Amino acid sequence: MLKRLVPSAVLAAALAMVAVAVPLAQTPVPAPESVIGWAPCTDYKLATYESISEYFRKLDAASDRIQVYDIGKTAEGRTQILSVISSEDNLRNLARYKQIAKSLALNRDENGRPLTDERARQLAREGKAMIWVDFGLHATEIAHSQTAPWMAWKAVTEDTEEMKEIRDKVIFILVPNMNPDGGTLVANWYMKHVGKPWEMSLPELYHKYVGHDNNRDWFMFTQPESRNIARQLYEEYFPQIVYNQHQSAPYPARIFVPPFEDPANFNIPPLVMRGINTVGDAITRRLDQEGKVGAISRVSFDTWWNGGMRTAPYFHNMVGILTETGHSTPTPADNDPAKFPRRFSNGESTTEPSTFYPSPYMGGHWTLRQSCEYMMTGSMAVLDIGAKRRQEWLYDTYQMARDAMKAGANETYVIPAEQWDPNAAVRMINTLRIGGVQVERATAPFTASGKQYAAGSFLIRGAQPWMPYVRDLLNPQVYPDRRLYPDGPPEPPYDISGWTLNMQMGVAVDKVTNAPVTVQTEPVTTASIPAGVVSGTAKAAYAIDPRSNEAFIAINRLLKGGDVVYRSAAAVDAGGKSLPAGTFLVVAGQGTQARVEQAAKALGLAIAALDANPAGDVMRVKAPRVGVYNPWGGNMDEGWTRWVLEQYEFPYTTLRDKDIRAGSLRAKFDVILLPDASYEQMVSGLAPGSMPEEYVGGMTARGVTNLFQFASDGGTLVAQDSASELPIATFGLPIRNSVASLRSNEFYIPGTLLRMTVNNTHPVAWGMPKEIAGFFVHSPVFEVGRRRGRFEEDAPASGPTPATAGVNVVATYPGKDLLMSGWLMGERYLFNKASVLEAAIDKGRVILLGFRVEHRGQPHATFKLLFNSIYLGASEKATMGQRQTEAARR
């Protein structure tokens, strides 16, 4: 629910009281400096989110041209706000204009029926353009958050013809800060350290969990800020243009403005792409009209990837605009043209005019204020073209919705009720729902394409306005093979190349394309978890199926409650149903029944009561003592790891370099996680002089020795993705990274879903299917049986990975067809190599998870590799041989 921060009744009462004493007058509209203490974008000053949001509240209190709304809490509990600016008349009729935008965007009239073209024209004539401009997403890119109060003040108070027309024709949705926590963190750090070399470098992530990846969360919606914003985009305002600002212009350009670089994602509607070019052109023209030089287009930033704040809206028929302005600090700088790089990454000169860089920036003194002025110009251009082409923007969204519904008429995605992990299917449906996907649930069994489906199966029809979003998330990405020159190195995508959601989440989805699926359905608002049930009162133990990720939440709760938990190494017969290896066995003790029932109900688990303990080997799982290594400087993979652990209720302790250097780790921990980081980053850390003393220096060789000692003493060291370099380089394991020295024109996998074969009889892979899609992003590839050779040439594999004593292969790349979604080059270098290994070290072990098992909180299908590794480390019995010990010591 939305809540006005200043209820209009209170405001009216206040005004009425004033009216008694003086002639009716509004509170004077405050300028930003009167609240913040300095004019926005003043040198050497940064305003916190608190200060900026206080300004917005005061503006709201003083003017009827702005309304400020509370849109939810942030990760650290701040209140995130959104403002709506328009004429007094428009704001009085805001509900009507929102309704029009929604009707057109969803192609749906008041009765839920599709619009006619004629009706859509009428609505477009009546409606107002909904134009979204947000500020402050990436917190170390500071100019936009500082510009927000200035932009709001200008839009509310300025009475030029242009601004009056904008207020008349546009509903301006201004989000002052997309990451309030980061805004305050960076402002406080800068103001404290201004003048130091580290004034703009933080020792930690600028968002509690995800840092810079807060712009990688826009279809997964894992973070509260992403969900706050998604509600506004896809349920409240349905903007036609979404303008998202950043600050990484390719130097020395002053601002990047669309058109974007190729490749373009094939699912983006042409009217979106044309709209992007139109708006981009409006921005660059205006910049040059105002004498603001150095705007560049068609370089670096492409439209391939879904998941960014400006890219996810493409698939919702919204025109997403990104600009990247230069100079992200309140400290002024002098730019010397003699030191400019000669060319941009697209090959064009940095000093001579070209088609998409016609007014080169030639250097000189530069201040934050200038960057903010570029952003003001960008925002004004977007608002202006929003006003001028108001009816077109509105009608376009209808046209795209209408055409999408037609194009997807015969296309249905069926999510069968029967799933490996039914809870994952529920999580996927609810994730898609946040993105505005229309979902139905079958109320009866049905047949489609000759296959039978049970009642309760979900259906996602192509015949919906945001069909491009559905198609993009539920099909493999086929990235075009693009090279910098023929047979040359690949032209890398801006971000990742493949992200197919159902593959990442391990959810079976059948695509039916021959005809619409006919079955009785009900609409799904939020998918509910399966009804949890405990089959009775156990005499011996309760068996919990490890295939559901939710089982791990249940076990963490039961361990916390003091229950005794085992895992079976063999399949368990539970009342005629066979549960796989790794099944959890919770001993029936005092109060266990109630705790198990509570877990079953809360988590949607079917738990079997056993009257006798199953035969076969078991392992005792104790409450794990987990340390998560967190290197200074902010490591996003560490943040995501921490976030996933919290979601699944694993307790953990953060380990800093000094903790690793101090040693005695085994006494405190069963498991230590090393999130993705290079050997150099971990061992050397931040360079001396680059940050205050307490943050520099890394874990050092002493830390590496302590980690080895930890494993040797019986601990479990889990190295994630490239962090596996540390144990491989220093622990003397018979393992090498066989792609370490390949060149990028031989081997290049930039963020791709790869097929992997899993040995699910191994404790690290218990509860997993035999085949998974793993997220590979410049990851290592393991070859067992060969030590890292100093002068060795890397060669493609000639046979299967040899089994080596003390090393257990948990997951491998098959000998063909590795590509599941995205793009890869040099597939053969992976054939039959390993992606996940467990290697013995004396009394303990190292587990190498050689890809991103928890990447950006998305691949639910591979979370278990992390969870199982933790439980294995906290298990009472070692299950592996000890023969590797000698080798490891050498």
> Min. distance of Cβ 246 from Zn ion in angstroms?
3
DSSP letter for 861, please.
Answer: G
852 lies in the site for Zn ion, by CB under 5 A: no
> CB within 8 A of 196, min separation 6: which ones?
692
What is the footprint of Zn ion within residues 563-622 (CB under 5 A)? none
Choose one: 99-107, 239-247, 498-506, 517-525; the region binding Zn ion (CB under 5 A). 239-247
Question: DSSP label at 149?
Answer: H
DSSP states along 494-562: SS-S---HHHHHT---EEE-SSPPP--EEEESSPPPPPPEE-S--SSEEEE-TTSTHHHHHHHHHHHTT
Residue 428 contacts by C-beta under 8 Å, 6 or more apart in sequence? 415, 501, 502, 505, 507, 860
Q: How far is the CB of 151 from Zn ion (least distance, A)?
A: 18
d(CA 557, CA 605): 14
Q: What is the smallest separation between the CB atom of 274 and Zn ion, expressed in angstroms?
A: 25
Nearer to Zn ion, 495 or 545 (CB): 495
**Please, what is the minimum distance in Å from the beta carbon of residue 311 to Zn ion?**
13
Best CA proximity match to 510, nearest among 563, 453, 554: 453
Residues 654-713 that bind Zn ion (CB under 5 A): none
Decide: residue 743, CB within 10 A, 0-12 exposed, 13-18 middle, 19+ buried. Answer: exposed
246 touches Zn ion by CB under 5 A: yes
Identify which of residues 246 and 369 has a Cβ nearer to Zn ion in the complex.
246
Strand partners, 357: 354
CB of 339 to Zn ion, least distance (A): 24
Write the CB contacts of 486 (distance below 8 Å, at least 6 apart in sequence). none
Write down the least CB distance from residue 129 to Zn ion, Å: 26
User: Measured from the CB of residue 247, what is the shortest distance to Zn ion in angstroms?
Assistant: 6
What residues numbered 159-178 form the site for Zn ion, per CB under 5 A?
Answer: none
Nearer to Zn ion, 144 or 860 (CB): 144
Q: Is 211 left (phi over 0), alpha (psi -120 to 50) or beta?
A: left
The 37-76 site mask, x for binding Zn ion (CB under 5 A), equals: ----------------------------------------
The pair of structure tokens assigned to 145 is 């958050």
Q: Closest separation between CB of residue 261 and Zn ion, Å?
A: 16
Q: Please, which residues bridge with residue 840 across strands? A: 845
- Across the beta sheet with 412-415, the strand order is 510-512, 412-415, 458-461, 439-442, 521-524
Minimum distance, C-beta of residue 281 to Zn ion, in the bound complex (Å): 22
Nearer to Zn ion, 138 or 389 (CB): 138
Stretch that binds Zn ion, among 241-249, 531-539, 735-743, 835-843 (CB under 5 A): 241-249
Smallest gap from residue 144 Cβ to Zn ion (A): 9
Nearest 5°: phi and psi at 77? 95, 5
Q: What is the full DSSP assignment across 419-486? A: -SSHHHHHHHHHHHHHTT--EEEESS-EEETTEEE-TT-EEEES-STTHHHHHHHHS--B----BSST
Residues 97-156 binding Zn ion (CB under 5 A) are: 138, 141
Q: C-beta of 141: minimal distance to Zn ion in Å?
A: 5
d(CA 671, CA 31): 55
Q: Which stretch binds Zn ion (CB under 5 A): 238-246, 311-319, 503-511, 707-715?
A: 238-246
For residues 393-402, b (16+ Cβ closer than 10 Å) or e, as one string?
Answer: bbbbbbbbbb
CB of 134 to Zn ion, least distance (A): 12
Nearer to Zn ion, 206 or 458 (CB): 206
Q: Which is nearer to Zn ion, 138 or 310 (CB)?
A: 138
Q: How far is the CB of 211 from Zn ion (least distance, A)?
A: 11
Q: Which is nearer to Zn ion, 136 or 614 (CB)?
A: 136
Q: 302-303 and 261-264 as β-strands: parallel, antiparallel, unpaired? A: parallel
Nearer to Zn ion, 86 or 215 (CB): 215
Contact track, Zn ion, 493-522, x by CB under 5 A? ------------------------------
**326 versus 732: smaller Cβ distance to Zn ion:** 326
Stretch that binds Zn ion, among 219-227, 244-252, 308-316, 678-686 (CB under 5 A): 244-252
Q: Which contiguous run of DSSP H or E holds residue 275?
A: helix 270-289
Q: Does 78 bind Zn ion (CB under 5 A)?
A: no
Shortest CB 619 distance to Zn ion, Å:
46
Work out how close the CB of 803 gets to Zn ion at its nearest, in angstroms, rounded to a whole number. Answer: 46
363: which strand partners? none
> Of 639 and 685, which has the nearer Cβ to Zn ion?
639
Per-position DSSP letters for 328-376, written without gaps between them: -SSS-EEE-GGGS-SB-TTS-BSSS-BTTB-S----EEE-HHHHHHHHH
- How many chain residues touch Zn ion (CB under 5 A)? 3
- Which range touches Zn ion (CB under 5 A), out of 113-121, 242-250, 340-348, 607-615? 242-250
Contact call for residues 632 and 657 (beta carbons, < 8 A): yes
390 binds Zn ion (CB under 5 A): no
Of 44 and 494, CB closest to Zn ion: 494
Nearer to Zn ion, 214 or 412 (CB): 214
Per-residue DSSP letter, 289: H
- Kindly tell me which of 141 and 217 has the beta carbon lying closer to Zn ion: 141
Specify the pairing of strand 771-777 against strand 716-720. unpaired
State residue 59 phi and psi, 5-degree precision.
Answer: -65, -45
| Minimum CB distance to Zn ion smaller for 180 or for 465 | 180
How long a stretch of residues is the chain?
890
**How far is residue 697 from each of residues 71, 639, 672, measured CA to CA in Å?**
41, 21, 20
Helix (H, G, I), strand (E, B) or coil at 821: strand
Closer to Zn ion by CB, 141 or 725: give it: 141
Binding site for Zn ion (CB under 5 A): 138, 141, 246
